[in-house]
Amino acid sequence: MSSHTLQRGVLPRVVTIFLVLILVSPTLSGCLESESGIDNSVETTHWLPPVEERSEKEYRNDDVFSRVSINGTYDTGEVQSIFVPVPSITASDGGAGFTGGAEVHLGLWLPEKEGCDLTISEVLEECKVPVIAEIGPYYDDGDVDALTPADRLGRFLIENYVQHGYGVAQVSVFGTGQSNHCMDLMGHDEQAGIKAAVDWLGTQSWSNGKVGAIGKSYDGSTPWNAAASGSEYLATIVPMSGLIGVHDLMWRNGSMEARGAIMHNGV
Q: With respect to CATH, is domain 75-266 assigned 2.40.50.100?
A: no
Q: For the residues 20-44, what does the mean pLDDT come to?
A: 54
Which of these, 161, 197, 162, lies nearest to 176 by C-alpha position? 197
Q: Are strands 129-136 and 103-109 parallel, antiparallel or unpaired?
A: unpaired
- Residue pLDDT, tens place only, 102-132: 999 999 999 999 999 999 999 999 999 999 9
| pLDDT of 93 over the 60 cut | yes
d(C-alpha 144, C-alpha 205), whole Å: 29
| pLDDT of 189 over the 60 cut | yes
Query: Angle CA(152)–CA(157)–CA(160) in degrees, nearest 5?
Result: 130
Entry pTM: 0.77
**CB–CB of 108/79 below 8 Å?**
yes
Residue 34's pLDDT is 45
- Residue pLDDT, tens place only, 200-213: 999 999 999 999 99
Q: Are strands 167-172 and 129-136 parallel, antiparallel or unpaired?
A: parallel
